[in-house]
Amino acid sequence: MATENIALRDAVLAELDFDPRLNDEQIGVAVSDGIVTITGSVCSLTEKWAAEDAVRRVKGVLGVAEDLQVDLPAVHRRDDTDVARACAEALHWDAWLPRTVAVTVRDGYVTLSGEVDWDYQRGEAENTVRRILGVRGIYNEIKLRPRIATAQIAREISRAFQRNAQLEAGVITVSTDRGTVTLRGRVRNWTEWAAATRAAWSAPGVAAVDNELSISDMEMSA
């Protein structure tokens, strides 16, 4: 294994060990040219999400391949009816969500459906059910209602990039096709990549975001 891969692997392992949300003893890490693969098992869906989040925080990570399995402890296992009821109640009491989100459960895997006005609501629905005990995975099939003409979307996103202190707007190009936004260019790290994605999704009328931004490896060589 190249020296750079060993150093990055050690950094990822240290970050996983540092995160109090994780039991890193069941998580394996492999690194190849900045791409980190995490394998093993975790005790909950929230722990699976936290592991991927921790890896993305590490300087020099260019990509994450996540192959973690959710192995629920016996005390957290619930039948699908119980999980569905808990998810539906949590969604109902979330002030950010309309009453248009439906939930179905099969073998602990939750499918979200329905329509909302904004992408943050779709993400909020997923975050809400992710924390429910007994949930092993989520399929988010919630759709966005169209709100503005396609021609306006690119302009709105470009303006958002210019306002965002985390982004160099001049190195990102935005194109749209029937509500699908494609981002191209180069950013310096995962923080900028995620900020560009959030900004694109925040524009009204966006139905999908294809983030083709590449992450510079200048940090790895610094």
d(CA 39, CA 66): 7
How confident is the model at residue 165, as a pLDDT? 75
How confident is the model at residue 218, as a pLDDT? 47
The neighbour count for residue 86, using CB atoms within 10 Å, is: 19
Burial of 90 (0-12, 13-18, 19+ CB in 10 A): middle
The domains located in the chain, with CATH, are 3-71 (3.30.1340.30), 76-144 (3.30.1340.30), 150-215 (3.30.1340.30)
How confident is the model at residue 13, as a pLDDT? 94
How confident is the model at residue 205, as a pLDDT? 77
pTM for this one? 0.66
Total residue count of the chain as it appears in this document: 222
**Tens place of pLDDT per residue across the chain (222 aa):** 588 889 999 999 999 999 998 887 889 999 998 899 999 999 999 999 999 999 999 988 988 999 999 988 888 889 999 999 999 999 999 999 999 999 999 999 999 999 998 888 999 999 999 999 999 999 999 988 766 666 688 888 888 888 887 777 668 888 888 778 999 998 888 888 988 998 888 887 788 899 999 887 544 443
Question: Phi/psi of residue 185, each to 5°?
Answer: 130, -155
Q: And the tokens for 62?
A: 């260019």
Helix runs in 166-214, H state only: 190-202
d(CA 117, CA 101): 11
Do the Cβ atoms of 36 and 64 come closer than 8 Å?
Answer: yes
Cα dihedral 122, 128, 131, 132, rounded to 10, equals -110
Cα dist from 4 to 31, 60, 170, whole Å: 9, 9, 31
